[in-house]
């Protein structure tokens, strides 16, 4: 993606967030005052599902501008177990409004030599699979998540701790959920994906040892059951990277914009 295209995507994202915070938030307050209110409880649909997902994100690596994936989806939603493609979650305990779950999720990161001429002479940095624990606390329309995920395929041998806060707004059958998050990556994960070893040095690449990093993000999720008898969900996130990542000789940007679109139906 060229810098002009990236700037255009960033502008669209920021205008969308501005619309949500300036227009929808005040509107939601006025809707809450109306005599006829929509129930804040949603019915949980259980059973098997199928669908399709699309994911795209601009990358901060030099010469590797875009990562795009098409994801055929098949899954299951139960009382405790949730399968959504390669994402797996199992609720192990509930304490009043606090839910404790174990999770398994892929980490789509890394590169190989074919992704960019800049990576010639470097070892491949592989995507991986993370496993860990997730704590979810819900109070009315507010939700707080804290997760701790570890690389279980021994790619980086690192871990990530992430905390997020979000709020759900309902407009008839449309659900809008802005969020903010902070993620902490340990030095092993940062060094694996953004470090440069002594054997990988060339005139364009200096040695670099990655250190622990703290990234922040703003997100927006819009979902609805309106289309084609299924459930549609759009996720947008803008992630700002810590200086311990952006100082890497492999990196040429300081933020990434990602978009995901999912459509699923129950069998």
Q: Residue 79: which residues within 8 A CB-CB, separation 6 or more? A: 46, 91
Place of tokens 């010639």: 120
Distance of CA 181 to the CA centre of its chain: 10
Q: DSSP E strands: which ranges in 115-230? A: 128-139, 142-151, 159-167, 169-171, 174-185, 213-224
**Reported pTM:** 0.78
Q: Residue 33: which residues within 8 A CB-CB, separation 6 or more? A: none
Contact by Cβ (8 Å): 200, 122: yes
**pLDDT over threshold 80, residue 24:** no
Over the stretch 27-60, which tens digit does the pLDDT of each residue have? Answer: 444 433 443 343 444 445 678 989 999 999 988 9
Q: Please give the DSSP secondary-structure letter assigned to residue 173.
A: T
**pLDDT over threshold 90, residue 63:** no
Instruction: Read off φ and ψ for residue 89, nearest 5 degrees.
Output: -140, 140
Between 53 and 6, the more confident residue is: 53
Contact by Cβ (8 Å): 186, 201: no
Domains and CATH numbers, the chain: 3-31+47-266 (2.40.128)
Helix (H) or strand (E) holding 105: strand 98-107
Over the stretch 218-255, which tens digit does the pLDDT of each residue have? Answer: 999 999 998 888 899 999 999 999 999 999 999 998 99
30-69 residues labelled b (16+ CB within 10 A) or e (exposed): ebeeeeeeeeeeeeeeeeebebebebbbbbbbbebbebee
User: Per the structure block, which two tokens stand in for 243?
Assistant: 């200086």
Q: Residue 78: which residues within 8 A CB-CB, separation 6 or more? A: 46
């Amino acid at each position: 993606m060229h810098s002009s295209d990236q700037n255009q995507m960033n502008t669209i994202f920021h205008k969308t967030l501005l619309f949500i915070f300036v227009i929808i938030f005040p509107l939601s307050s006025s809707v809450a005052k109306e005599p006829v209110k929509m129930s804040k409880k949603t019915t949980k649909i259980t059973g098997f599902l199928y669908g399709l997902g699309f994911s795209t994100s601009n990358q901060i690596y030099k010469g590797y501008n875009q990562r795009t994936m098409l994801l055929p989806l098949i899954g299951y939603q139960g009382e405790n177990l949730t399968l959504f493609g390669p994402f797996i979650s199992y609720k192990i305990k509930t304490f009043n409004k606090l839910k404790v779950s174990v999770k398994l999720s892929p980490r789509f990161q890394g590169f190989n030599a074919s992704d960019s001429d800049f990576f010639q002479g470097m070892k491949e940095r592989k995507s991986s699979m993370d496993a860990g624990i997730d704590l979810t606390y819900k109070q009315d329309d507010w939700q707080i998540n804290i997760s701790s995920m570890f690389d279980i395929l021994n790619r980086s041998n690192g871990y990530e701790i992430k905390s997020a806060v979000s709020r759900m707004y309902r407009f008839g059958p449309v659900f809008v959920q802005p969020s903010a998050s902070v993620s902490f990556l340990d030095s092993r994960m940062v060094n694996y994906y953004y470090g440069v070893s002594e054997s990988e040095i060339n005139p364009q690449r200096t040695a670099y040892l990655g250190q622990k990093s703290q990234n922040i993000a703003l997100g927006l999720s819009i979902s609805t059951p309106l289309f084609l008898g299924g459930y549609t969900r759009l996720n947008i996130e803008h992630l700002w990277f810590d200086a311990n990542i952006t100082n890497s000789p492999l990196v040429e940007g300081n933020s990434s914009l990602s978009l995901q679109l999912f459509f699923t139906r129950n069998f």
